[in-house]
Amino acid sequence: MLKLTHVDSYYGRSHALQDVSLHIPAGQVTAILGRNGMGKTTLLRTLMGSMVQSTGAIELEGRRIDGLPTHQRARAGIAYVPQGREIIADFSVQQNILMGAFAGRGPRAIPPLALELFPYLAANLQRPGGVLSGGQQQQLALARALTAQPKVMLLDEPNEGIQPSVVEEIEAAITRLNREFGLTMVLVEQNIDFARRVASHFAMFEKGTIVESGPIAALTDAVVDRHMAF
């Protein structure tokens, strides 16, 4: 689905990704793991073509996208749920969700699936986005991304800073989107148990390079201890 070949990324002169080659299989969840500052968010920005300068090849379904600006990558089918969620506080829930439609490929309407997955949003379409809790805003960011009708969704630590009861709902939504609807996902995650539950493949980052990758069964405790213990 997505393929990176010899990709390097830079913030100015800072070399944040070094010679990254990775295949993201269609219809599966690939977990991107590693300690803070190792390049996970930079990988998602590199796929989206935002905030970083990159070299190397990125293909979506066999077509080169590395030369495209961010909005054309969104049109091509990549949706991004960033860390911090980037909800517009003064816009209503409905307006925030519809922002995704302007970025994406589909009609300018909220897909019924987004409202079915997140009943709270369906019941509060007119509330301002800014009054929602962190977990509700994460649901809103997921609904916004779904409205773009993506082929692949990039998720940056969707459970970070969220209360446990809402984490379960978000996990259930991610699992359903993948298993029932076959959505391909790239999931940056610190929670190893969640990554093991939901992902079929992983890539472990250290200092901007992939140090281990493969099927999730290869993510042994020894691998986690080696690269994620503090």
Ligand X SMILES: Nc1ncnc2c1ncn2[C@@H]1O[C@H](COP(=O)(O)OP(=O)(O)OP(=O)(O)O)[C@@H](O)[C@H]1O
The two three-digit tokens of residue 49, written as one number: 């073509």
Determine, following the binding rule CB under 6 A, whether residue 34 of this chain makes contact with ligand X.
yes
Residue span binding ligand X (CB under 6 A) among the ranges 11-19, 86-94, 172-180, 218-226: 11-19
Among 25, 37, 84, 214, which residue interacts with ligand X (rule: CB under 6 A)?
Answer: 37
Which is it for the CA torsion 58, 28, 186, 189, positive or negative? negative
131-161 burial: b if 16+ Cβ within 10 Å, else e = ebeebbbbbbbbbbbbbbebbbbbbbbbbbe
Q: Which range, of 8-16, 59-67, 124-132, 215-223, touches ligand X by CB under 6 A? A: 8-16
Minimum CB distance to ligand X, residue 156 (Å): 7
In the bound complex, what is the minimum distance in angstroms from residue 224's beta carbon to ligand X?
15
Q: How far is the CB of 135 from ligand X (least distance, A)?
A: 19
Cβ 113 to ligand X shortest distance, Å: 29
Alpha helix (H) ranges present in 80-220?
Answer: 93-103, 112-117, 119-123, 134-147, 164-179, 192-198
Q: Of the two residues 105 and 207, which places its CB atom closer to ligand X in the complex? A: 207
Q: Which lies closer to ligand X via its Cβ, residue 52 or residue 117?
A: 52
Write out the two tokens for 216. Answer: 């999730």
Helix (H) or strand (E) holding 30, with range, is: strand 29-33
Pick the binder of ligand X from 28, 41, 139, 147 (CB under 6 A): 41
Region 45-104 residues binding ligand X, contact defined as CB under 6 A: 51
Distance (Å, whole) CA 7 – CA 230: 27
What's the min distance (Å) between Cβ of 153 and ligand X? 17
**Piece of 20-28, 33-41, 107-115, 126-134 that binds ligand X (CB under 6 A):** 33-41
Least gap, CB of 229 to ligand X (angstroms): 15
Which of residues 4, 16, 117, 210 is near ligand X by CB under 6 A?
A: 16
| Torsion of the alpha carbons at 221, 160, 157 and 78, rounded to the nearest 10 | 160
CA atoms of 219 and 33, how far apart (whole Å): 10
179 SS3 class: helix
List residues near ligand X by CB under 6 A: 11, 14, 16, 34, 36-42, 51
